[in-house]
Chain A
């Protein structure tokens, strides 16, 4: 539980962080809330020689709603998201996730950018951000890139964020008919299964659906078949929603661990997806 020796430096701006990343190369890791990275260092699953602390960089922790567009600074803490009425109105799925993430200590330190860049397959945000079809702004030496969530999250602990890049913001269109429901692991409180649903409704019927699942695959994923099957279904018709949500994890090699087998996880993905859809439709 004692990490390998490392050095520490504070970045004063995004440009400064990029410069420091360039200077220290692969030995360096960005430090935001540290609630994933530091435990991994303590278990020696990670041993960066240099931590570049970006928490002091100003103006990266705002939640902005501009018309229909919501932009969240990468250093916004889970607790700030969980307490945001603007977020609850515009993207309740993300508000749900922030409220169910970790514990008060984690929520008061951890950031949405850090949790996203970490790429943990059992983390909550990736499913929500996939369902929101969010856009990630990353900045590097060569300037700024915009990545869609589907391209950003790649595999277990692997994202499209380049070694010399800093994630600065995450943006998405308002999705008031959205929800995230979670099957908490009894020990870690990560998602055994997390299901995010973003709907548009026509009367009481689902016009379009975006559904994404955390905890089951090697990375969060969109459930395309379920999305198509939900079109035209009445959100209040429990049986029809459940039928449309069958086979959420088809095509995925569902993960097994000491708490839940792959088969059970896949079955729970269907149950929790149906619950997320029903909740989103009722909002």
Chain B
């Protein structure tokens, strides 16, 4: 067999060929195969890169904290990531969107709470907060492209870029907003009551 002009053909016989789609259809339908041959057509190859890839990026978050309530409003979110060559920019953008949402959710919302008897109190999504679309900011995204040399495509991972960048960006933005109140640390998630209590405990300036 040989591959020629986008088709699989019999070597030496230009009249005998079919497209890969036709070959795949025959293989998977399996109703016209030689005796003893199982239907299907699969192949697995593995690639061992000579080294890790190192995606990188910078995330910047701007928030406003309401001193009267401790509620946080997102003003701006910027992220520039470098995952090497973007094979499908739309999918890359989706990965970053989802990752930022997950990371800011960790910083702001998600918390597993048990009572003193070990009973889970946040057992449904009515209690355990995961942000809706309206609770996350608009994301301004950009990319630099620094192709890696350790694989032929020049690609690097992007799945975790959003989660890694957004949790500290959001938490640090909130803590920066609280700096004038002398607040230096609050454990995540940064729930409004914690922020309100911290602002009011220090010196009453929030009142």
Contacts and interface: CB of A to CB of B under 8 A. Distances in A.
Interface of A: 43, 103, 183, 185-189, 257-261, 264, 267-268, 271
B18 interface: no
Instruction: Say whether chain B's binding surface is mostly helix, strand, loop, or mixed.
Output: loop
Contacts of A103: 132
Interface string B54-96: 0000000000000011010000000000000000000000000
B196 interface: yes
A108 B14 CA distance: 64
6 contacts: A189-B132, A258-B127, A259-B129, A260-B193, A264-B193, A271-B68
B126 A188 contact: yes
B177 interface: no
Interface in B105-141: 109, 111, 113, 121-122, 124-132, 135
Nearest to A242: B68
A271 B70 CA distance: 11
Nearest to B105: A186
The 4 closest A-B pairs by CB, nearest first: A187-B129, A186-B129, A188-B126, A264-B193
Contact of B127 (A188, A261, A264, A268): A188
Nearest to B122: A258
B197 interface: yes
A260 B126 CA distance: 14
A103 to B, nearest CB: 8
A258 B126 contact: no
Given A187-B126, A187-B128, A188-B127, A258 B68 contact: no
Contacts of A264: 193, 196-197
A258 B113 contact: yes
A103 B125 CA distance: 14
Contact of B69 (A185, A186, A261, A268): A268
Contacts of B71: 183
Task: Determine which residue in A186, A187, A189, A271 has the highest number of CB atoms from chain B within 10 A of its CB, and name it.
Answer: A186
Contacts of A260: 192-193
Contacts of A261: 193
A138 B197 CA distance: 45
Contacts of A268: 69
Contacts of B196: 264, 267
A259 B191 contact: yes
A133 to B, nearest CB: 28
Contact of A187 (B68, B125, B192): B125
Contacts of A43: 124
B69 A187 contact: no
B16 to A, nearest CB: 58
A103 B111 CA distance: 23
